[in-house]
Amino acid sequence: MSKQYFKKQVLEKSKNSSMEKENPKRTNIFSRHLKKIYPIVGLHRTCSPLSLSSLSLSLSQNSTDSSLTDSSTRPLDQKISLALRLIAPIERREALVPKFLQQPNANSEDGTPRRCNWITKNSDKVYVQFHDECWGVPVYDDNLLFELLAMCGMLMDFNWTEILKRRELLREVFAGFDPKNVAKMSEKEITDISSNKDLTLAECRVKCIIDNAKCITKICEEYGSLSSYMWDYISYKPLINKYKYPRNVPLRSPKAEVISKDLVRRGFRFVGPVIVHSFMQAAGMTIDHLVDCFRHEECVNLAERPWRHV
């Protein structure tokens, strides 16, 4: 062979050798994946598994709520989950993701659905049922809205369990909470209701419900319905919150304060911001189930349906 051929071979080998020295990671497939992963996780490559666990625990303890969805502020455990999915073979990706991330709304240890923290093993069945079936479900019926407003007003004297146990009897004595019928109640009917030992409602509370019914009839004349009046404040779309801890759930809100102020101006009684916010929660105007409660996703799905106001 010619000298030129050998010279060409030597030059090519020298060129390849220098490229390998400049790019030692070029043939490392795992390194190429790491370049994609670390910007997502936001951690240095020197972090050990122990340091990742410590950081995750620290973040979970110091977090306040999960309302942020931006990737830059995404919880660390979700970032790690995404990183594992990207670098693992397809058939192993699901196996590498922790179970609590795969099923955030899984059942509790005792096999029951995971509920908001204020629902405990000692909670009355009627209270649990109200949480599971009613609380946070959007309500558009005027009679039911009136009923919920009256029940929330009773929170001044009773708790939810005590009120819910009286619910059927309340519907009976207040004519199904039809505002027109309640507004026409006589003094005798007021006396009969206030003397009912099963209800234990003070006469002033009974008169308050009747006075509020009269105010509702005026609202219906102006807005067409109580539902139209209430839902107009939030543009007919429930406010969806993503609270992680009970301490994050407020007792009142700016929107409740605005509605409360206008209701008072119209002559309503027992409609302070705290009562109005409780009403908004019960009527599904605001979704305040905790994010790990099985009802959160269900109520959000109801809230995100096409406009259903009538």
| 152 annotated among ligand-binding-site residues | no
Could you give the C-alpha distances from 217 to 46, 86, 129, 229, in angstroms and in order?
68, 60, 31, 12
Q: Of 244, 214, 223, 227, nearest to 284 (Cα)?
A: 227
Backbone angles phi, psi at 137, to 5 degrees: -90, 125
Q: Phi/psi zone of residue 111: left (φ > 0), alpha (ψ -120 to 50 degrees), beta?
A: left
Q: Is 131 annotated as a binding residue?
A: yes
Closest CA to 150 of 169, 137, 127: 169
Closest CA to 29 of 106, 77, 68, 86: 86
What single letter denotes the amino acid at residue 87?
A: I
Long-range contacts of 83-89 (CB under 8 A, 24+ apart): 83/37, 83/40, 83/41, 86/33, 86/36, 86/37, 86/40, 87/30, 87/33, 87/34, 87/37
Side chain identity at residue 112, one-letter code: T
User: H helices of 123-202, where?
Assistant: 125-133, 142-153, 160-165, 167-173, 179-183, 187-194
Please state, as a whole number, how many other Cβ atoms lie within 10 Å of the Cβ of residue 297: 14
Q: Report the C-alpha gap between 240 and 267 in whole angstroms.
A: 30
296 known ligand binder: no
* Residue 33 marked ligand-binding: no
Q: Where are the beta strands (DSSP E) in the chain?
A: 239-240, 286-287
Annotated binding site: 116, 131, 289, 293
**Annotation: binding site for Zn(2+):** 116, 131, 289, 293
